[in-house]
Amino acid sequence: MSKLVAPHGGKGLTICLLEGKALEDEKKKAEGLKKIVITPREEGDLIMIGIGGFSPLTGFMTKADWKGVCDNYLLADGTFWPIPVTLAADKSDADAIKEGQEIALVSKSGAIMGTMKVTEKFEMTEADKKYECEKTFMGAGTPTADEFWKIAKDDHPGVQMVMAQKTVNLAGPVKVLSEGDYPVKYKGVYMKPAESRKIFEEKGWSTVAALQLRNPMHRSHEYLAKIAIEVCDGVFIHSLVGNLKPGDIPAEVRVRCIDVLVKNYFVGKNVLQGGYPLDMRYAGPREGLLHATFRQNYGVSHMIIGRDHAGVGDFYGMFEAQEIFNQIPTPAGEGKALLCKPLKIDWTFYCTKCDGMASLRTCPHEKKDRIILSGTMLRKGLSEGTPIPDHFGREEVLDILREYYAGLTEKVAIKTHAAATGGK
């Protein structure tokens, strides 16, 4: 009997990725189906549905699911879910598809990623898209819709993604035929929930904390992970290996940074590094909930939630992603409520007077004594070639990052925001 937290939804891992003869038969059938090209975000969502990362989802959301998630964090059957997982098509394509028809889902490169039985079609007007954006992306940093829309269309990549979606959502169950290039490109890092669960069980872990990473690991991340190791059996350093926004550092570089950090500064048996195939949505608090939801499927009992988790710009309050865990519904019924708990950690930094890593809860000193650590500030300094302050990152990690930036022929301007610089 596993001691790990059960997968979300009460149905075990709902795996839609085909293998063996079933896979070969479905691939042949897919060649003759109407093909719909999907976006990179939809492709990542499809793979997560396939490998059980989005359990209990077995397909893309119906309108009732979409509205329930936007309004109440609940699927139509009453299961907790924090963010819409939808697939869109042009109206002309959607009009040519009958409900009940099977279609093939194709990546931008032309690879058939899966098939889908379309059980429902529903239009997404501009007003519907704006509604989804306000529910999903609007935080305390922009408390009114008017303030939000003044900046969101230009500055929020998640909003831009939703507003650029095609006009009709297609809902229905999927059969997943490919994991893309993730198993090869990130061999040894990319893993399925069943694989991480097996490793946790072999290690004898029952409580596992996940550290979400989209930036290279700096001293604050290291400190968070070590706090988690003190209170849980182990930590799962789980990096996003899907698409990011321009200026973010590629996954393969971040993986190298984690490798060198774990090798030199952690007790290896207490750490596991992994990767997952989603694109960032930059949805702040709601994305923090999504991170906890799918980490539960990976066998994680606690999600580390620090400052401005999954945020972008100044859209969210500094600890809004922690506070939201106290506000979500806890539906009755086996598996319907979120079981993965937040590990809420205050703002962390290096204090010169403490002579070590500290947080607002442990350090009595002044702001001038603190070296504020932020992924945004680190990327900005490396991109512009400015000196990185002492104690910001481990030298072995900074060497890898300097090598990466030295090889860039084109650099993206990095905007800092209040939460990264201590202004919030």
Active site (annotated) includes residue 214: yes
The encoded tokens of residue 141 equal: 């940093």
Q: Identify the burial level of 341 via C-beta atoms within 10 angstroms of its C-beta, where 0-12 means exposed, 13-18 middle and 19 or more buried.
A: middle
In DSSP notation, 325-392 reads GGTS----STTTS--PEEEE---EEEETTTTEEEETTT--S-GGGEEE--HHHHHHHHHHTPPPPTTS
**What 3-state class would DSSP assign to 215?**
coil
The encoded tokens of residue 418 equal: 């209040």
Nearest CA to 78 among 88, 65, 87?
Answer: 65
* Catalytic hit among 41, 169, 197, 215: 215
Cα–Cα dist 327/313, whole Å: 23
* Catalytic hit among 214, 254, 307, 394: 214
Place of tokens 């189906």: 33
Q: Which residues contact 153 (CB under 8 A, 6 or more apart)?
A: 159, 160, 163
Residue type, 205: W
* Catalytic residue numbers, as ranges: 214-215
